Structure 1
Amino acid sequence: MRKVVNKVIFFVNSLVAFALLMSYLLPYVSPQTFPLLSVLSLAVPILIVINVLFFLYWAILLKRKMLLSLIVLILGISHVSSLYKLRGKSSDEIDNTLSLLSFNVHAFNRFKWIDSEEIPKDISSLIRQENPDIFCAQEFYHNPDIDFSQYDYKYDHFHHKSQELALVIFSKYPFLNKGSLNFKKTANNVIFADILLPSDTIRVYNVHLQSHGISTKTNDLAKADSQKLFKRIQTSFKKQQSQAEQLIAHMKSSPYKNIVMGDFNNTAYSYIYDKIKSENLQDTFKEAGKGFGKTFNFELFPARIDFILVPDDTEVVAFKSFDLELSDHYPIFSRIKL
C-alpha cells in the first residue's frame, strides 16, 4: 500500500516539477504570443514551495527520489532567490546616499477596506518616519488627513477617468522635467520626473501597470468562473506587455540614469519584469532584501509585485519592506549610492 501511495505522490511531484521547469521559460515568452503560459508566473511561488516540500519528503523517506525536485530547484536558483532571501543588507550610512520609497496607498482606505479611520494619518506618519528623499505613490487620492508637507517638490498626474486617482512623485530635490506616458483605454499609467540631485541628475519613473481586477481572497477566487478569470488575466498580461514596451522605449530616450519603481501587477518571474529590468537595472530586493519581501496582501502566497529597480552600477546599501496593514500593498524602501 505504501508503494502505491508513494507512486501517486511521485507522479504529482513530477507534474509540479515539470510546471516549475516550464515557468523558467516565462521571461522569454511574451504574453501576446503565449498568454496562457504567462498566467503561470502568478503560481511560481506556490510551485517553488511545493517542490521544496517534496524534496524534504523524499529526503526523509526515499533519498533517490528527492533528486527530481532538487535538480529542478537548482536549475532555477535565481527564481528561488527571488522568492526568499536568507540574508539581507542593512546600513546606517546616510551620507552620499539616496533613499527611495514606493507605496500603492489604495486611495488611503477611501472605501474602508480596512477597519480603521486612521489610515491616512498612519501613512503620513510612516513617510515622515522613514523620510525618503523620493517617494512614489500609486492610487493616490486627495485626502484632508494626509500630510506630506516635508516635500518641496511634487508631481501628480490624474490619468484615471474619474480624475480622482493619481500617480505622484514627491521629492526633496527639484524637477528639471516631468511628464506622463498616458496609456490609452486604461486607468493605469506611468509618470516620470527628471530630478536634480546635488551631484547628478536622474530620471525616476513611477509605474502602475495594468491591473488584473481579481480578488485577493481565497474564497472569492474559489467562487469565480475560472474560464473568465483566466481570460481576464491573459488580457491584462497582454496590456502589460504593451505598456512595458512603451516604458522601455521612453527609457531608451532618457538622457539620464533611470530608476523605475512602483506597482508592476506582475511577479519577478514574468516577461514584463525581465524586459524592464534588462534595461541595465537591478532589483534592490535581490541585492539587499531579506525574507519573502512580500509587497501585496494575497492570501495564497507572499506575492512580490512592487519593485524598486536602480541602475546596475549603483550600490544598493539597504532594502526593507513593511509588514503594515495600511493598504492592500505593503510599502518598500531602499537606500542606494549612485
Structure 2
Amino acid sequence: MKIFRIILFILHLGLLFLLTGVLLNAYIPPKIFPWLNLLSLGFPILVIGYIMLTFFWIFSWKKRAFVFMFMGLFFLNPVKRWVNYSSESKETANLKIVSFNMKSGKKGIDKIKDYLEQKNADIIFIQEENGQLKLNNLEGEYSLPVIRLYSKYKIVSRKNLFENLSDTDITSQCEQIDLEIKGKIYRVFNVHLQSFGVVKSMVKLNGSSEEDEKKVKNIVKKLIPTFKSHQEQVKIIRESIDNSPYPVIVAGDFNAVPNSYEYYKTSEGLKDAFYEVGRGSGTSFHDYKYPLRIDYIFTSESIKPVTYKVDHSVNLSDHFPVVATFKID
C-alpha cells in the first residue's frame, strides 16, 4: 500500500506540474514553446485527475491533502473558463449578441435562418458562412469569405485585418467593423482563426498501436504549425484592440481552448462574457465528444455582460450557438 501511495503522490505532483505549464501560456508564445499550448487541450482531464487524487488524500487522512487543496486554488479561475456557475446579474440588458459557426449551413440553411431570426439579436457574428444565409430582420453585407456580420445598427467602416497576412489560408479571417449603436461608436471584431484541418477520422483511434501512434503524430504535425500561425493572427487582432479609440466587442471562433495562448493574449484587458455571467458548461464545439470551448465573446470593461448561454438545445452545426446580452451606456 505504501508503494501505491508513493506512485499516486508522484502522479499528483506530475499533474500539478502539467497544470502549472498550462498557465504559462499567458507568458510563453507558441513560436517559443508550442507544447504548452498543446497541453491546454488536455486541461479538463488534468484537472479531473488532480481533483480525484486530492479527494483520495482527504479520505486517507493525509496532511498532504491540505497542500494539494491549497495549490488547487490557483486553478479555480482557469476552471471557470470551462465550467462556470456565476450569480445572476442585476443589470438590465439593452444589447443582444449571437455568435455562431454554421459549418457552411450543411445541416440546413432554412433551419439556421429560422433559429437566428427567432433570437432577434442586435448583432450576429457568423463564421463559416457560404453566402447563402439571408436574414429578414438584419442587414448583412457579404464582404469576406468564411465570416459575415449582421446588424441592426449602422456600419460606419470595415476593415479586413488579415488582408496582408501571408502565412495563412482561407479559414483565417478577421473583420474589424465600426458600428454606430445608440449614438456611440463601437468597434467589433468578427474572428475565425485558422482551422487545424483535423477531421473525425484523424482522431479516432482503432486499437492498433502502430496506426494509432501514426495518427497522433499526424495530428501533432497539424496542431503545432497552426498554433504558430495563430500567434501571428492574434498579434494583429491585439494591436487593433489596443489602438481602438472605441469600446470593443470581439467575438467568433478562435479554434483555441481556454487557457491557451490565443485566449490569454486576446482577452488581456477585456471581459470574457462566459467567465463573468455564464453558467454550466462553456463547451461550444461538440463534434469530437470532448469538452472544447472555442467560441467566445470578449468586451471592453465599459460593456457589462448580463447573460451568456451556449445553446446546447440545437444541433445546427458542429458548433453550438453562443447567445449573450449586455448593458451599454
TM-score normalized by the length of structure 2: 0.89
Contact 1:261 1:309 (C-alpha < 8 Å) held by counterparts: yes
* Structure 1 unmatched runs, 5+: 110-115, 160-165
Whole-angstrom CA distance in 1 between matches of 2:304 and 2:68: 34
| 1:154 aligned onto 2:133 | no
Q: Match of 2:209?
A: none
Contact 1:58 1:66 (C-alpha < 8 Å) held by counterparts: yes
1:205-237: per-residue Cα shift (whole Å, max 9, x none)? 000012112235795256453223222211001
| 1:99 aligned onto 2:96 | yes
| 1:210 aligned onto 2:194 | yes
Whole-angstrom CA distance in 1 between matches of 2:179 and 2:250: 13
* Structure 2 unmatched runs, 5+: 207-211
Number of residue pairs the alignment of both structures matches: 317
Residue 191 of structure 1: how far off its partner (Å): 0.9
| 1:305 aligned onto 2:305 | no
Q: Match of 1:64?
A: 63
Whole-angstrom CA distance in 2 between matches of 1:126 and 1:90: 25
Residue 155 of structure 1: how far off its partner (Å): 2.8
Change in 2 beyond 3 A, CA 1:79/1:129: same
1:308 is paired with a residue whose SS is: strand
Whole-angstrom CA distance in 1 between matches of 2:23 and 2:243: 30
Contact 1:317 1:335 (C-alpha < 8 Å) held by counterparts: yes
| 1:233 aligned onto 2:187 | no
Q: Match of 1:251?
A: 241
| 1:39 aligned onto 2:38 | yes
Residue 105 of structure 1: how far off its partner (Å): 0.5
1:109-168: per-residue Cα shift (whole Å, max 9, x none)? 1xxxxxx6xx3222222212211100000000133xx441110x2232334xxxxxx200
| 1:172 aligned onto 2:152 | yes
Q: Match of 1:21?
A: 20
Higher mean C-alpha deviation, range 242-251 or range 214-223: 214-223
Contact 1:26 1:271 (C-alpha < 8 Å) held by counterparts: yes
| Aligned 1:128-207 pairs, distance under 5 A | 128-143=117-132, 146-151=133-138, 153-159=139-145, 166-181=146-161, 182=163, 183-184=165-166, 185-187=168-170, 188-207=172-191
Residue 10 of structure 1: how far off its partner (Å): 2.6
Residue 22 of structure 1: how far off its partner (Å): 1.7
1:8-47: per-residue Cα shift (whole Å, max 9, x none)? 2332222222211221211110111111222111111221
| 1:319 aligned onto 2:318 | no
Residue 3 of structure 1: how far off its partner (Å): 3.0
Whole-angstrom CA distance in 1 between matches of 2:125 and 2:105: 14
Contact 2:25 2:264 (C-alpha < 8 Å) held by counterparts: no
Q: Match of 1:220?
A: 204
| 1:266 aligned onto 2:256 | yes
Contact 1:212 1:233 (C-alpha < 8 Å) held by counterparts: yes
Higher mean C-alpha deviation, range 13-22 or range 262-271: 13-22
Residue 92 of structure 1: how far off its partner (Å): 9.1
Letter in 2 for 1:126: Y
Residue 273 of structure 1: how far off its partner (Å): 1.5
Percent of paired sites with the same residue: 27
Letter in 1 for 2:96: S
TM-score normalized by the length of structure 1: 0.87
Whole-angstrom CA distance in 1 between matches of 2:186 and 2:137: 21
Contact 1:314 1:336 (C-alpha < 8 Å) held by counterparts: yes
Q: Flag as ranges the 4+ runs of structure 1 deviating above 6 A.
A: none
Contact 1:296 1:302 (C-alpha < 8 Å) held by counterparts: yes
Whole-angstrom CA distance in 2 between matches of 1:218 and 1:51: 28
Letter in 2 for 1:180: N
